[in-house]
Amino acid sequence: MKKNVVIIFVVLLAVLLVYLWPASSREEGAKTPDTATERDIQTGPVIGSADASNTYVWLGIPFAAPPVAGLRWRSPQPVKPWIKRLKTTTFRDPCVQLSGPLDGLPDDSGAVVGSEDCLYLNIWSPRDHSSAASDTLPVMVWIHGGGNTIGTANTYDASTLAGEEQVIVVTLNYRLGFFGWMSHPALRTPDRDALDASGNYANLDMIAALQWVSDNIANFGGDHNNVTIFGESAGGRNVFSLMASPLAKGLFHRAIAQSGSVGTTPLWRAENFHDDARPGQALSSREWLALQLKNAGRAKDSSAARAAQMLMSKEETLEFMYSRSAQEILAGVSGGAGMYSAPQSFRDGTVLPKDTLYTVFSDPSRYNSVPLITGTNRDEAKLFLALDPEFVKLRFGFLPRIKDLQAYNEVSAYLSDGWKAMAVDGTADIIAANTSEPVFAYRWDWDEGGKNWLVDYSELLGAAHGLEVAYIFGGFEGAIGAPGLYNDDNIAGRDRLGEDMRSYWSEFASTGAPGKGRSGTLPQWTPWNQSGANLMLLDTARGGGLRMVNEPMTVAMLKERIAQDQNIVDLRSRCALHVQLFLLANAGDDVWNEADYNALGCAQFNPWTLSAER
C-alpha cells in the first residue's frame, strides 16, 4: 500500500510540473576552485573548477554591469573591472521572474524570484584541451527558453555536450519579461539613445554576451571566429532575432533554432490598449501601466487607470515606472508555470528591423546570413494540451486521461503543423531561395514514452515541445517529462538518439553542415531544397531511424485543411482556429489574408475579438 501511495504522489507531481521541467537542476552549491582553471579575461582574472565528462566549468562570469536602479530599461553597460581573482564556481541568481519549475531554484521561495542583477554566463571546456593550443575549438552559445518570461541558464548542464563533442559551450542569462522588453513612449526621450529607447533590452543582453565571447573565449580554448548560437522555444525565437539584428553582425557564424519562431512585434501591439482600433496585447505597456497604477492605489479601476496615465507626462511616467520594485512590477500578473504573455522582440528599427523577418530573410544583405538548422517537434502542442482541462481530465483529481483522443490529436496536429509551417518550411523556403548559405531542417519524432495503467505518455505527450533538449545536453535526470516517461524499454534507444543528435549538432558547429555527424557514421543530412528529401527525421530505430524525407507543411496546406475539415462543425470554431494560426502569428503581417478569412464565411466575426477569446 505504501508503495502505491508513493507512485500516486510521484505521478501527481509529474502532472503538475510536466511543463518545461528544467533540463538539469544544478543547485548543489559552490564547487571547489581548481588552479588549472585560472584564466585572465579583459575585466580581470577568474578561476573555475573541474566538472563531469572531463570538463572544466566557470559559473557566473559577469558579461555586463548589473542592470539595476537607473540602468533598468537601458542597454547593457560594461562590467567594472576587478583585480582580485574572481571565483566562478557557483551559479548567480536567475533573472527576475514568477516562481515556477523553470527558475532553477531548489524551492518556491516566493511569488517573485530572482534578481535584476543577473547578467552572467557559464562556460564548459574540455579538460584535455589547452587554452594555448593552436587548434581552437568550436564555440556553442546556448539561449534558454521559457517564453522569454521565465527560465535561466542555470538549469542546463553542458558538461556532456562539451566533453564528448570537444566543443566550448556557453550558456547565458538575459533579462526576462517586462524587464527585458518594455516598449513605451516614455522611454523615448531626448536624453536616451536609440538603444535605450528600443525596448529590446534582452536582445541587447544577448548581443553583449556574444561580444564578450568574441573578446574572451580564446582564453578558454574557443575559436571566436567559429561561434554557433543555438536555443529552444523562446531561445529559438531569439536565435532568429539575432540573425536579423544588425548589431549582432560578425558575432556568430552558424545558428540553430529548435522550435523557434520568426515572430516580431509591431509597436502598436506592444503599446496600445487592448480595445484600441489596432488592439495591443493583453499585457501591452499601457495595459501593464494601468495595472501598476491600480496596484499603487492611484486609480480605483481600469477605466480610471487608463485616464490617469494619459494625463501623466513622460517624466512623471518614468519616475513612477522606476519607483516600482521588481515584486511590484510583476504583481497581479499570472500564467502557467510562471510564464506570462508579455510583448517582446519589437520592430524598433535599431535592434530589430521594422519589417517582419520573412521580409528581411528574403534579402541576405539585410541580415546575418549564416548556415542554419531549424526544426520542430512533431507533437509540439501536446505539452500544453496535456495541462488543459478542456482536453485532459484528472482521474481521482490527479491521474491524467485524455477526454477525446481523436480531438486531442487533431488540435495538436493543427497547432504543431502550424509551428512547422512557419518556423521550418516557410523560413527555409525563403532563405534557401535567396542565399547561398545552407539551411538544414529537421523534425523530432520520438514518441516512445512509457505507458502503464496510470498514464500513457506516448499519447499524452508524444514528441512534445521541449523533450528534445535533454538529448542535446545529454542529461535526462530532472529533464522535461515525468517519472515513468523513460524506462528499461526505451532508455537504450533514447541514449543512442541523444548521441546521434549531439554528433550532428557539434559537426554543424564545427563545419557549418551536420553532414554525417562528428562521428562520420550517421546518415547524410542534406540541405533544404524545394523538392526531394529536405527534412531530417530524428528518431530511434524503433521509429524508423534517422532519415531524410520530403514531408512539406505550408500555410496554404493548413488553410485548405481548416476549410475542408468535416470534424469542425461550428463556424465560429473554424474561424477562431484560422485566427489562432494565422492572425496571431506575427500580428498577421506574414500569413494573414482577409480574403481567405472571409471565404470561410467568417466576415461576421471580428478576428481581433476572436483572438482575444483564445
Q: What is the CATH number of the domain that holds 67?
A: 3.40.50.1820
So what's the pLDDT on residue 480? 61
Range 204-229 average pLDDT: 98
Give the list of residues 6+ apart from residue 26 with CB closer than 8 angstroms, or none: 91, 104, 154, 155, 157
So what's the pLDDT on residue 289? 98
Number of domains in the chain: 4
Give domain status of residue 354, yes or no. Answer: no
So what's the pLDDT on residue 18? 37
- Do residue 213 and residue 290 come from a single domain? no
Range 329-341 average pLDDT: 92
Q: Which residues of 316-340 are buried (b: 16+ CB within 10 A; e: fewer)?
A: ebbebbeebebeebbbebebebbbb
- Do residue 479 and residue 332 come from a single domain? no
CA atoms of 293 and 221, how far apart (whole Å): 51
- Do residue 390 and residue 487 come from a single domain? yes
Give Cα separations from 127 to 36, 168, 220, 284, 606 (angstroms): 9, 11, 10, 47, 60
Q: Given a cut of 90, is residue 476 above it in pLDDT? A: no
The angle that helices 285-295 and 302-310 make with each other, rounded to 10 degrees, is 110
- Do residue 85 and residue 112 come from a single domain? yes
CA atoms of 583 and 594, how far apart (whole Å): 9
- Do residue 460 and residue 600 come from a single domain? no
Give domain status of residue 510, yes or no. Answer: no
- Do residue 386 and residue 500 come from a single domain? yes
Give domain status of residue 64, yes or no. Answer: yes
The angle that helices 314-323 and 285-295 make with each other, rounded to 10 degrees, is 70
β-strands 392-395, 399-402 pairing: antiparallel
So what's the pLDDT on residue 134? 60
Range 517-540 average pLDDT: 95
Give domain status of residue 516, yes or no. Answer: no
- Do residue 393 and residue 289 come from a single domain? no
What pTM did the predictor assign?
Answer: 0.95
Least confident of 85-94, 133-142, 479-488, 510-519: 479-488
Q: What is the pLDDT of residues 347-357, one digit of tens each?
A: 999 999 999 99
The answer to whether the beta carbons of residues 380 and 388 sit under 8 Å apart is no
So what's the pLDDT on residue 399? 86
Q: Given a cut of 50, is residue 326 above it in pLDDT? A: yes
Q: List the one residue out of 494, 483, 479 whose CA is nearest residue 455.
A: 483
- Do residue 47 and residue 115 come from a single domain? yes
- Do residue 607 and residue 544 come from a single domain? no
Give domain status of residue 105, yes or no. Answer: yes
Which residues constitute the domain of residue 596? 570-613
Confidence band for 482, pLDDT divided at 50, 70 and 90: confident
So what's the pLDDT on residue 21? 43
Give domain status of residue 512, yes or no. Answer: no
- Set of cell numbers at residue 102: 523553470
Give domain status of residue 466, yes or no. Answer: yes
- Do residue 284 and residue 155 come from a single domain? no
How many CB atoms within 10 Å of residue 228? 26
Give domain status of residue 598, yes or no. Answer: yes
Q: What is the pLDDT of residues 363-415, one digit of tens each?
A: 999 999 999 999 999 999 999 999 899 999 988 777 899 999 999 999 999 99
Task: Residue count of the chain, please give it.
Answer: 614
How many CB atoms within 10 Å of residue 465? 27
DSSP H helices, 166-257, are: 177-180, 194-197, 201-216, 234-244
Q: Given a cut of 80, is residue 15 above it in pLDDT? A: no
- Do residue 76 and residue 179 come from a single domain? yes
Q: List the one residue out of 73, 601, 24 whose CA is nearest residue 326.
A: 73
Give residue 428's identity as a one-letter amino acid code.
A
Q: 11 versus 165: which is more confidently predicted?
A: 165
Q: What is the pLDDT of residues 453-475, one digit of tens each?
A: 889 999 999 999 999 999 999 98
- Do residue 592 and residue 450 come from a single domain? no
